[in-house]
């Protein structure tokens, strides 16, 4: 998402790739009886199987309007009879007090497999699916046609609870990072969301039954969160991850970025927003309102090497070297990228680095761009991968969350 020199050009490529992908990607065909609109609405935790529980999709937040920071609008995913979808709020204790004023009651979409409402004694593995930049969790749920994918996977014997948390911000995304400006988005996923889901749904509440997967910014987040909280996940999969290499800048580019008026930032170009979101996540500065970030230029007009080092500290390619022990604890580690996607080069470097240090991992380069095959691949590659590498059935010894709160 970030160009190594300007922080903008490559982000623009991703934006164009995603926008093209929304027109060319082939989502799964609607299941028999699936409707293109909501089949019902209500408060989370109420409604019949096959209904949305809460607000409809379309890539919008409750109350309507385009998601802050995002101009990638997505048509609502068709609903499938028997697939329950809950729209919930999870309080992000980890994001309290963030300087950007991001909401701490965050939207999360929970999709349940068809047997969930029938077998009340059964507990399920959970996949946490992280979305990309300039999208909401709801928009990603819609783009990926999660209800249809859930239904098809169940028919293939793969039943998961699929959780899609929202990590959108005023600037387009948290970058799934720990920042005083945007909040600790890493702990939000690994602690707040996981804790809520385990206490409110019938999950197999152990690392061996949890998978972490994400696309683009979400693929980046998968690497970061997996390294910071390895004890939470049994297996991980990074799809077309962005931002793998260390971000750099020039003095000219940094000054130009800092000159964007704060009130205009949410509607700035995709590349500028991606750069602003990255700087907010990786070099926050509580002494520099209104952005509360350090753009990387010293008073004498030269690039500040300390800030560049802070950016590098958030690069998965840099982080991996000091997290080899953690990465070796996973049952499986996988990543991929399209042969027409400029980000795939860094994914290959990550694969080679993990091989160098003896971390068992797999990588696939497939024919495609940044987005045009991710719906298909999530269904046909990613879900079978987690089926093979997670504990999907309770053996009697696994810890289960308190039953009294489960629905």
SS3 assignment, position 176: coil
What's the pLDDT score for residue 72?
61
Name the residue ranges covered by the structural domains of the chain. Answer: 9-394
What's the pLDDT score for residue 396?
59
Task: Please give the Cα distance from 311 to 258 (Å, whole number).
Answer: 16
Q: And the tokens for 164?
A: 């899609």
C-alpha distances in angstroms, 59 versus 137, 286, 324, 337, 401? Answer: 8, 31, 37, 24, 31
Phi and psi dihedrals of 263, rounded to 5?
-75, -10
Could you tell me if 91 and 192 are in contact, meaning their C-beta atoms sit under 8 angstroms apart?
Answer: yes
Task: Please give the Cα distance from 133 to 175 (Å, whole number).
Answer: 8
Could you tell me if 124 and 204 are in contact, meaning their C-beta atoms sit under 8 angstroms apart?
Answer: yes
Q: Which CATH class is domain 9-394?
A: alpha beta
What's the pLDDT score for residue 382?
98
Task: Please give the Cα distance from 43 to 108 (Å, whole number).
Answer: 13
What's the pLDDT score for residue 74?
83
What's the pLDDT score for residue 223?
98
Task: Please give the Cα distance from 106 to 137 (Å, whole number).
Answer: 10
What's the pLDDT score for residue 176?
98
**Below-70 pLDDT ranges, the chain:** 1-72, 396-405
Report the candidate in 274, 264, 201, 208 with the shortest Cα–Cα distance to residue 235.
Answer: 208
CA dihedral 46, 49, 54, 56 (to 10 degrees): -160
Q: State the pTM of this model.
A: 0.85
Q: And the tokens for 161?
A: 């609870």
Phi and psi dihedrals of 336, rounded to 5?
-155, 180
Task: Please give the Cα distance from 381 to 97 (Å, whole number).
Answer: 39
């Amino acid at each position: 998402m970030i160009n190594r020199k300007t922080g903008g050009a490559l982000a623009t490529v991703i934006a164009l790739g995603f926008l093209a992908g929304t027109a060319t990607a082939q989502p799964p065909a609607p299941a028999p009886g699936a409707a293109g609109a909501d089949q019902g609405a209500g408060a989370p935790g109420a409604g019949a199987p096959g209904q949305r529980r809460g607000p409809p999709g379309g890539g919008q937040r409750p109350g309507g309007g385009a998601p802050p920071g995002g101009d990638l609008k997505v048509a609502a995913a068709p609903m499938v009879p028997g697939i329950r979808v809950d729209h919930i709020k999870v309080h992000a204790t980890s994001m309290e007090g963030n300087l950007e004023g991001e909401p701490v009651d965050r939207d999360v979409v929970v999709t349940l497999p068809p047997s969930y409402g029938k077998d009340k004694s059964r507990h399920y593995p959970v996949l946490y699916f992280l979305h990309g930049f300039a999208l909401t969790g709801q928009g990603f749920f819609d783009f990926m046609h999660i209800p249809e994918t859930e239904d098809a996977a169940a028919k293939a014997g793969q039943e998961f609870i699929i959780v899609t948390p929202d990590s959108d911000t005023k600037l387009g995304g948290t970058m799934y990072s720990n920042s005083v400006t945007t909040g600790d988005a890493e702990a939000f996923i690994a602690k707040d969301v996981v804790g809520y889901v385990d206490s409110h749904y019938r999950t197999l509440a152990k690392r061996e039954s949890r998978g972490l997967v994400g696309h683009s910014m979400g693929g980046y987040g998968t690497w970061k969160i997996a390294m910071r909280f390895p004890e939470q996940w049994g297996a991980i999969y990074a799809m077309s991850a962005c931002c793998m290499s260390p971000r750099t800048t020039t003095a000219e580019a940094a000054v130009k970025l800092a000159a964007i008026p704060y009130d205009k930032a949410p509607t700035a170009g995709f590349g500028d927003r991606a750069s602003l979101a990255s700087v907010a996540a990786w070099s926050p500065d509580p002494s520099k309102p209104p952005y509360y970030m350090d753009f990387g230029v010293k008073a004498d007009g030269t690039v500040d090497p300390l800030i560049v080092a802070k950016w590098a500290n958030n690069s998965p390619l840099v982080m991996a070297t000091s997290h080899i022990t953690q990465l070796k604890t996973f049952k499986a580690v996988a990543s991929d990228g399209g042969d027409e996607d400029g980000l795939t080069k860094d994914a290959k470097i990550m694969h080679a680095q993990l091989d160098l240090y003896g971390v068992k991992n797999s990588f696939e380069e497939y024919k495609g761009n940044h987005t045009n095959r991710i719906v298909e691949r999530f269904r046909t590659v990613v879900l079978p991968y987690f089926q093979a590498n997670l504990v999907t059935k309770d053996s009697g010894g696994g810890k289960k969350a308190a039953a009294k709160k489960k629905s």
